[in-house]
Amino acid sequence: MKKNNFWLYFALFIITIIGGFLRLYKITQNPPSLTGDEISFGYSAYSILKTGRDEYGKFMPLVFQSVGDYKNPVPAYLMVPSIKIFGLNDFAIRFPNALLGTISIPIFFFFLLDILKNKRIALLGSIFLSLSAWHIFYSRFSYETLMASLFVLLGIWGFIKMFNGNLVWAFVSAFFFTLTMYTAFAPRLFIPAFILGVLIVNIRNVKKNLRNLSVFAFTCLILGLPLLYVTLFQGAGTRLQMVLISNDIEFSRHILLKYFNSISDLPMLFFFWLKRYISYLNPGLLFFNGLDATQPNPIGLGVLYIFEIPFFIAGIIEFIKNKIPNKNIFIVWALTGILPDSLTNNQQHAGRLLHLFPLLIMISAMGAISIYHQLKKVKIKLVRTIYFLLYSIFILIVLIHAYLIIWVNFPRDKSESFDEGWREAVQYMIVNQDKYKEIVIDPARGIDGPNMISNPFLYVLFYTKYDPLTYQDEKKIYSESSDYYFEFNKYTFRHINWPADKNSKETLFIGSPWSLAKENLNDGELLEIINLTNGSPAFYIVTPK
Amino acid sequence: MLPMLPYYTSKNLFLAELLGQNLHISKIFYLFLVLVNTYLIWLISKKLLNKKFAFLSVATILFSPWFYYLAVGHSFYFLLLFPTLLIILGLIEIFQTQSKTINLLLVTGSLLSIYSSALFIPLLLILFITLIYSKIISLNKLKLSLILIFILSLPLLFLISKNSIGFTNSLRQEAKIFVDPGLINSINRYRGAAEANNYKFFSRVSENKYLFYSEYIFLKYVSQLVPETYFTPKYKLLSYAFNPPIFAGFTIPMFYGLYLALKKPNLRKLLFVSTILVIPSVISKDMVSLNRLVLFSPVVFLVISYGLSNLYQKRNALVAKYFLILTSILVLFQIVVVLFDFKAHEQQRFESYFGKNYELSEP
């Protein structure tokens, strides 16, 4: 190893350690609670570990039915070894994601080094990724699109190498691209669009690489066939139908002024989609508040930091001006990367854009290097130093703001949407459940109203470490109607109707203040109050006297 | 407000009394203004682009809903576009010739604008200083015109000195960027949360109003320059329409034109300077005011025309050909869709926004 390279790799090691620290530090405390998705993945993984089957008794499934949203298999299977090592707890659930987020840093470095052949850009890119609030935020809880983003990076890297003539990379690329599709939903649209786009813009190279491409296509087909099967025949396509843009409220309520229900509305849908698509160049999303980590606020955290704006602009100019290897592949990456999120019925979502992180951060790093070169041209050293110092101070201020948002504002503002309170409520229940014949838990909650419906049975299964084999085999009662009702063992999950329920002796009730209003409770009935980080009551734990 | 241009559309105009239909006069005036402004943009295109392709800017305007909506909505800023275009035309003439004589277009445009809107006094100052400082136009070439503008604006300056409160109020009316308490509330919320967690010092450093106001101004500035503002109905024309200011198909030549312009240092510099014209929209209450942003529209139309003309010149290349075909298909398709949508939904959208008793068309 050359001396120069030693320091380069040493720097990379330090950057990775810092990145790992930022992703793992107090990971179980912030975000403040496991989300419904994390809990569901976690218990499925636990069930697989103990029985080889999911909670519905399906042997090693390729799609997890979960609560009817048919989840992807990779996140659950990645949790299996983690649960084996650390046990069934919050850390074990979040660890695989944080680990993949951390590993992304050196992999991104080597990707940049290999593709751009520029050590400075590679190193700066890895620093930006290591400190990226966007990447850190989604690394700190189990988030399938973050996992997929690493596989996308590896797949595209392999794809570029394959185009340069190496057959082995055809297998590598095909493997990671397919793995990506087993990991998250967004890449299922992105990957085919990306491959098609690259083939179109590289049509001249297709003939030269026909052998590699055939191997690539064949490998993809073989590895992807099971996914195709479960998508078509085992409900894995359900999620896709649920989130399609045609169900968007803005589209139906404000544009069509009725529900989308005929082919004649398709042209309007097309232009609505186009609006969504073009909107991804929104500076708010990119730099100011795209992360949605606080209450609605013009100045929050974006996909990139505010101090990266000049870098990003300079990077785009550099990208346009200079000869960049595989430039057209990067352009196709950008254009197709937006596609999945633009086709969904929700607001723009920074998380669903994670497979674009290598591209955005690469441009930012290129721009920073370009600005550095411009700065070096300033002849007076003092002026140069002042520029440098002032901008460094600005960067520091922005990083402090980011720290405060993630560690102070986010837990206060968003804890409710992260289902905070269930863990504490269930832990109280575990300690006291022997005193009661029945435990009734209301799934509806919310500060402003009982508008959020969770799946508390998953929290009960998870935190009680409920034996998966028992759960798979035992009798469960659930409602076929739209009313939430689910019952197993002595746990019942339904809406609490206190005037009627207050006569149920030896029963423990867990519900929000909306279903268990304080003024309706007699002295001694209220056993415990579970608060959110911001102090609002999330749950009351009550037993009739 | 310092009304000069609006005066001509007011109900006191003798022609209005003659016809007895004030709103019709106003309508005719605005339709006439669409033609005049389009003609001026065509003249600018002729001077900046290849003469053969100057018609492209006119075609882009004619195929874009922006001017029509603002004309129907009797936008004051659409009126101000006229003197703005005169100023741009004058500056181009000065830029392209060696003459140091007075440029009447520049003088007329400047006087019309500053006598019409208080905002144009600082705006023109910024524009001239930037042009001279960035060495796009030398002070020598501008000197005589600037002196004449100064002399002819003396009555206005005298009036301002007599009624400084009125002038300040007028400026305040135009600069409403900080009237929304949302931003200051958000700063207070951040500060409160941080202080409750013993981060008072860090919060004071990174979450103070000076920093947030600067960031907010920057956010607004950048928001004026992104494609979604022009090619999508994100910011609604007249607050209710679904039609974008410019049809989405023109994004392709826009990006191409921008790509070519950014490659050339001189054009890059000109583009950056031209963004001064977004200031009126930046200081408005809304994130983007399409009403005010119309002052920047000539730049957008020119970039689109630049992209279109270059695509046409390279039409033998496969990619250029595809881009041209795609642009044409998208624009034509959107025209058809807009026409049908206009008939089916426009009235309903208008009513749901303004209420049924409000009419825009007939007096």
pLDDT value at position A259? 66
Residues of A in contact with B190 (CB under 8 A): 404, 409
Taking the CA of residue A511 and the nearest CA in chain B, the distance in Å comes to: 27
What percent of chain B lies above the pLDDT cut of 90? 55
Residue B239 falls in which region: left (phi positive, over 0), alpha (psi -120 to 50) or beta: left
pLDDT value at position B332? 94
pLDDT value at position A241? 67
pLDDT value at position A236? 58
Least CA distance to A272: which residue of chain B?
B232
- Tokens 């050359």, located at residue: A2
- Count of CB atoms situated within 10 Å of the CB of B259: 15
Residues in chain B: 363
Q: Report CA A2 to chain centroid distance, whole Å.
A: 39
pLDDT value at position A281? 84
Residue contact B251–A255, C-beta within 8 A:
no
Tens digits of residue pLDDT in A369-394? 999 999 998 888 899 999 999 999 99
pLDDT value at position A188? 87
Q: Report CA B252 to chain centroid distance, whole Å.
A: 21
Residue contact B222–A283, C-beta within 8 A:
yes
Radius of gyration of chain A from Cα atoms?
25
- For chain B, give the mean pLDDT: 86
Q: Which of B234, B235, B191, B232 is nearest to B209 (CA)?
A: B191
pLDDT value at position B102? 87
Is A162:A209 a contact under the CB 8 Å cutoff? yes
Query: Is residue B199 within 8 angstroms of chain A, CB to CB?
Result: yes
Burial of B277 (0-12, 13-18, 19+ CB in 10 A): buried
Nearest by CB to residue B211, choosing from A278, A288, A397, is A397
**A509 phi/psi in degrees, rounded to 5:** -110, 135
Burial of B154 (0-12, 13-18, 19+ CB in 10 A): exposed
Is ipTM beyond 0.95? Answer: no
Residue contact A321–B263, C-beta within 8 A:
yes
Number of H helices and number of E strands within chain A?
25, 9
Residues of B in contact with A310 (CB under 8 A): none
pLDDT band at B7 (very low <50, low <70, confident <90, very high): very low
Strands A452-453 and A444-445: antiparallel
Give the lowest-confidence range in A8-17, A44-53, B17-26, B93-102: B17-26
The answer on pLDDT for B362 being more than 70 is no
Q: Residue A540 in 3-state DSSP?
A: strand
Tens digits of residue pLDDT in A409-426? 999 999 988 999 999 999
Strands A476-478 and A485-488: antiparallel
Residues of B in contact with A271 (CB under 8 A): 248, 334, 337
Taking the CA of residue B259 and the nearest CA in chain A, the distance in Å comes to: 7
Which residues of chain A approach chain B closer than 8 Å at the C-beta? 254-257, 267-268, 270-271, 274-275, 278-279, 281-284, 287-288, 295, 297-299, 306, 309, 316-317, 320-321, 397-398, 400-401, 403-404, 407-409, 412
Least CA distance to A400: which residue of chain B?
B206
Element (H, E) at A364: helix A357-376
Q: Give the A:B interface size as CB pairs under 8 Å.
A: 106
Query: Is residue B219 within 8 angstroms of chain A, CB to CB?
Result: yes
Burial of B305 (0-12, 13-18, 19+ CB in 10 A): buried
Q: What is the CA angle B23-B28-B32, rounded to 5?
A: 145
Residue A275 falls in which region: left (phi positive, over 0), alpha (psi -120 to 50) or beta: alpha
How far is A378 from A387, CA to CA, in rounded Å? 10
Q: Which of B257, B259, B293, B301 is nearest to B276 (CA)?
A: B293
Mutation choice for B interface testing from A26, A275, A319, A327 by most B CBs within 10 A: A275
Residues of A in contact with B262 (CB under 8 A): 316-317, 320-321
Residues of B in contact with A409 (CB under 8 A): 189-190, 193
Q: How do the residues of chain A divide into helix, strand and coil, expressed in percent and rounded to 5?
A: 65, 10, 30
Nearest by CB to residue A404, choosing from B206, B212, B244, is B206
Nearest by CB to residue B337, choosing from A254, A268, A284, is A268
Nearest by CB to residue B337, choosing from A267, A275, A278, is A267
pLDDT value at position A371? 95
The answer on pLDDT for B201 being more than 70 is yes
Residue contact B205–A288, C-beta within 8 A:
no
Residue contact B248–A278, C-beta within 8 A:
yes
Residues of A in contact with B194 (CB under 8 A): 404, 408
Could you give the C-alpha distances from A463 to A39, A48, A420, A426, A430, in angstroms and in order? 9, 17, 14, 7, 8
Residue contact A254–B349, C-beta within 8 A:
yes
pLDDT value at position A41? 96
Interface of B with A in 260-299 (CB under 8 A): 262-263, 268
Where does A117-185 have alpha helices with state H?
A: 119-131, 133-139, 144-163, 168-183
Q: Which of A141, A185, A145, A138 is nearest to A419 (CA)?
A: A141
Q: Which of A142, A53, A49, A61 is nearest to A88 (CA)?
A: A49
Tens digits of residue pLDDT in B287-306? 999 999 999 999 999 999 99
How far is B164 from B161, CA to CA, in rounded Å? 5
Interface of B with A in 228-267 (CB under 8 A): 228, 231-234, 242, 244, 248, 251, 259, 262-263
pLDDT value at position B345? 80
DSSP code of residue A71: B
How far is B31 from B67, CA to CA, in rounded Å? 9
Strands A537-542 and A507-511: antiparallel
Residues of A in contact with B205 (CB under 8 A): 397, 400
Residue contact A408–B244, C-beta within 8 A:
no
Is A264:B151 a contact under the CB 8 Å cutoff? no
Nearest by CB to residue B202, choosing from A255, A321, A400, is A400
Give the lowest-confidence range in A105-114, A135-144, B214-223, B233-242: B233-242
pLDDT value at position A109? 97
Q: DSSP string covering B59-99, please?
A: HHHHT-HHHHHHHHTT-HHHHHHHHHHHHHHHHHHHHHS--
Nearest by CB to residue A409, choosing from B193, B211, B262, is B193
Where b means 16+ CB within 10 Å and e means fewer, A42-51 reads bbbbbbbbbb
- Count of CB atoms situated within 10 Å of the CB of A15: 21
The answer on pLDDT for B10 being more than 80 is no
Q: Which of B275, B181, B175, B261 is nearest to B225 (CA)?
A: B275
Residues of B in contact with A397 (CB under 8 A): 205-206, 211
Nearest by CB to residue A408, choosing from B197, B205, B222, is B197
pTM of the model: 0.88
The answer on pLDDT for B3 being more than 50 is no
Element (H, E) at B31: helix B22-48
Query: Is residue B32 within 8 angstroms of chain A, CB to CB?
Result: no
Q: Which of A221, A118, A220 is nearest to A159 (CA)?
A: A220
Taking the CA of residue B305 and the nearest CA in chain A, the distance in Å comes to: 20
Average pLDDT over residues B324-347: 89
Greater confidence (B347 vs B221) lies with B221
Query: Is residue B325 within 8 angstroms of chain A, CB to CB?
Result: no
Tens of pLDDT, residue by residue, chain A (545 residues): 566 789 999 999 999 999 999 999 999 999 999 999 999 999 999 999 999 999 999 999 998 988 888 899 999 999 999 999 999 999 999 999 999 999 999 999 999 999 999 999 999 999 999 999 999 999 999 999 999 999 999 999 999 999 887 889 999 999 999 999 999 988 888 999 999 999 988 888 888 888 999 999 999 999 999 988 887 776 656 666 667 777 777 777 767 766 666 777 788 888 888 888 888 888 999 999 999 898 888 889 999 999 999 999 999 989 988 888 889 999 999 999 998 888 887 778 899 899 999 999 999 999 999 999 999 988 888 999 999 999 999 999 999 999 999 999 999 999 988 999 999 999 999 999 999 999 999 999 888 888 888 899 999 999 999 999 999 999 988 887 778 899 999 999 999 999 999 888 899 999 999 999 888 888 889 999 999 998 999 999 999 98
How far is A290 from A306, CA to CA, in rounded Å? 11
How far is B272 from B256, CA to CA, in rounded Å? 17
Taking the CA of residue B246 and the nearest CA in chain A, the distance in Å comes to: 12
Residue contact A257–B348, C-beta within 8 A:
yes
Least CA distance to B188: which residue of chain A?
A297
Mutation choice for A interface testing from B184, B186, B340, B342 by most A CBs within 10 A: B186
